[in-house]
Structure 1
Amino acid sequence: MEERWILVTGGAGYIGSHTVLQLLEGDFRVVVVDNLDNSSEVSLKRVQELAGEKGDNLIFHKLIIEDICRDLQVGDPEWKIMLLRYFNPVGAHPSGRIGEDPRGIPNNLMPFVQQVAVGRRQALTVFGTDYSTVDGTGVRDYIHVVDLADGHIAALKKLFNAKNIGCEVYNLGTGKGTSVLQMVQAFEKASGKKIPLIMAGRRPGDAEIVYASTEKAEKELSWKAKYGINEMCRDQWNWASKNPYGYGSDS
């Protein structure tokens, strides 16, 4: 089999390290570039352990991506560039079911809930309680980190197998909406902890409901999210409870 090398920038972070593990298990060879400003090399050591013999196919460089781009020739046929965006927006201007041309502002609720559960924050602020939704709070599309990683790999496979693919945009999401309070309740169930809430007014520009249209990814990438919010919260809490201050810290 032809060797398939993948350059992963920011690969030592939470999402990046999960993606690197999935790549290794998919028989890719991976070069990770990360300056470790907001991540830890410990995550990659754990990835290598989990990958077993395939962990030998991981190379890590502590670098800034600009250092590498400076040495690359524009238009070099040996390099292919892929950008993927996934839906997990908290503050987004469009409302409803979003197609492949989103103009939102991606943000992630989960880290804030997690930080309250492990004691790093006193409470979670919920912005907007009077929306026309199931419980008055905003509805968003949340995706499991493994589903996100698998979506990246599905796009990579298409990039390797297709000729002259050009630039394509794919939404990675569940295609279903979950309210802020529903997500909080799911995390409380997974963690066994009560999440203190501060109920606040709407923020300017926040949309009532935002969730991804995923038909294009399902059809063209043969990819579909497999996990729901219960699995997301379970797995996030499993990691957060063991690493309350991040990788490599016992304090």
Structure 2
Amino acid sequence: MHLLVTGAAGFIGSHTVLELLNSGYTVLCIDNFANAISDEHGNAISLKRVAEITGKEVPFQNVDVCDEKALEKIFAENKFDGVIHLAALKAVGESVAKPLQYYSNNLVASLNLIQVVYGPPSELPITEKSQTGQGITNPYGQTKYMMEQILIDVGKANPDWNVVLLRYFNPVGAHKSGLIGEDPKGVPNNLMPYVSQVAIGKLPVLTIYGDQFDTVDGTGVRDYIHVVDLAKGHVKAFDRIKSVGNVGTEIYNLGTGVGYSVRQMIGVPRPGDVASVYCDPSLAHEKLGWRAENGLEEMCADLWNWQTKNPQGFSA
């Protein structure tokens, strides 16, 4: 199968491309470097390293998914069997400060439905049947929920479409080679890259504050998942489409099913955060044959391996 991967040069995108190539898929990668790093020639550094790891060609074009004409050109020149759409603005705190930018970008340009679509859950762990759209606390989450509803409607109107919505939780870690990992632009918006950058000396201090949430220690609880496990979930989704043929519209949680508090991880609550988020991933195991293989220790070890080998990220 030949796939278009948007947001391919980013943290999740680069790991997903690697797993797709290792599983025999061919890809065309596009990114506009909003959340990724390019070299002096405009090439995606992360994807160059994916090519090094896999020994395979990684075709790439610098394209913004907001550019409709550029997308039309890509589809006119290629025959794709599917799309994995990972391009989106994704910082929860920033979305609170810049809501119009997030609504414009993520609704107009992105079908990225694999991050937070849930409001504060009424039950834990979250299942695929848990209520969504109620009590969403930030514009980022609103855009994900809206796009999910749009794709569900499109799937109902077009029964020959295969729409697989992967709802995943908090990706951390890095590839075990240490060649690719999370390299956020500016100060990290997520907990674990912030912790690792303080530990390596790139950032001066990690401030721990906030005990207002209704959790075991007052700090937010999250379901952390290794980014490689997450990437393999995308492969499993397309494996199912190849095997079954027409799957219609399906929804899967990708997580470990275990929640850790921010204080347990050493963390900071942000505007727009919710108290507890962890999932029930049993449906993905049942239908996709997928389960998370790495625990928190492996996530932290692989993150630290990446950070120590790349103290300045891809820019070194």
The amino acid that maps onto 2:195 is V
Query: Is the 1:174–1:212 contact (alpha carbons within 8 Å) kept by the matching residues of 2?
Result: yes
Distance 1:37-1:109 versus aligned 2 partners, 3 A rule: same
Deviation at 1:6, TM superposition (A): 1.4
Distance 1:124-1:92 versus aligned 2 partners, 3 A rule: farther
From 69, 84, 103, give the equivalent of 2:71: 69
Deviation at 1:132, TM superposition (A): 5.1
Aligned length: 226
Matched, 1:7 2:4: yes
Query: Is the 2:29–2:60 contact (alpha carbons within 8 Å) kept by the matching residues of 1?
Result: yes
CA distance in 2: counterparts of 1:127 and 1:223, whole angstroms: 36
Distance 1:72-1:161 versus aligned 2 partners, 3 A rule: farther
Deviation at 1:85, TM superposition (A): 4.7
Query: Is the 2:5–2:29 contact (alpha carbons within 8 Å) kept by the matching residues of 1?
Result: yes
CA distance in 2: counterparts of 1:38 and 1:204, whole angstroms: 21
Matched, 1:220 2:248: no
CA deviations over 1:62-87 (Å, ceiling 9, x no partner): 222334433478xxx95544567556
Deviation at 1:12, TM superposition (A): 1.2
Deviation at 1:43, TM superposition (A): 1.1
* Aligned match of 1:60: 60
From 35, 50, 54, give the equivalent of 1:51: 54
CA distance in 1: counterparts of 2:304 and 2:116, whole angstroms: 18
CA distance in 2: counterparts of 1:69 and 1:33, whole angstroms: 10
CA distance in 2: counterparts of 1:78 and 1:20, whole angstroms: 15
* Aligned match of 2:25: 28
CA distance in 1: counterparts of 2:64 and 2:273, whole angstroms: 34
Instruction: Please tell me the root mean square deviation across aligned C-alpha atoms, in Å.
Output: 3.1
* Aligned match of 1:192: none
CA distance in 2: counterparts of 1:115 and 1:92, whole angstroms: 30
Greater alpha carbon shift after TM alignment, 29-38 vs 213-222: 29-38
Distance 1:88-1:23 versus aligned 2 partners, 3 A rule: same
The amino acid that maps onto 1:59 is P
Deviation at 1:244, TM superposition (A): 3.0
* Aligned match of 1:119: 201
From 38, 41, 53, give the equivalent of 2:35: 38
Secondary structure of 1:112's counterpart equals helix
From 221, 228, 248, give the equivalent of 1:139: 221
* Aligned match of 2:300: 233
Query: Is the 1:93–1:205 contact (alpha carbons within 8 Å) kept by the matching residues of 2?
Result: no
Secondary structure of 1:237's counterpart equals helix
Identity of aligned residues (%): 45
Matched, 1:93 2:120: yes
* Aligned match of 1:128: 210
CA distance in 2: counterparts of 1:36 and 1:45, whole angstroms: 14
From 261, 271, 275, give the equivalent of 1:208: 275
Structure 1 length-normalised TM: 0.76
Structure 1: gaps (5+ residues): 185-196
Structure 2 length-normalised TM: 0.62
The amino acid that maps onto 1:176 is V
Aligned counterparts, 1:77-88, within 5 A = 79-81=81-83, 85-86=113-114
Matched, 1:177 2:259: yes
Query: Is the 1:92–1:210 contact (alpha carbons within 8 Å) kept by the matching residues of 2?
Result: no
Secondary structure of 1:50's counterpart equals helix
CA deviations over 1:207-235 (Å, ceiling 9, x no partner): 33210121111111010001111111111
Deviation at 1:140, TM superposition (A): 0.8
The amino acid that maps onto 2:243 is N
Distance 1:70-1:62 versus aligned 2 partners, 3 A rule: same
CA distance in 2: counterparts of 1:72 and 1:11, whole angstroms: 15
Greater alpha carbon shift after TM alignment, 128-137 vs 33-42: 128-137
* Aligned match of 2:159: none
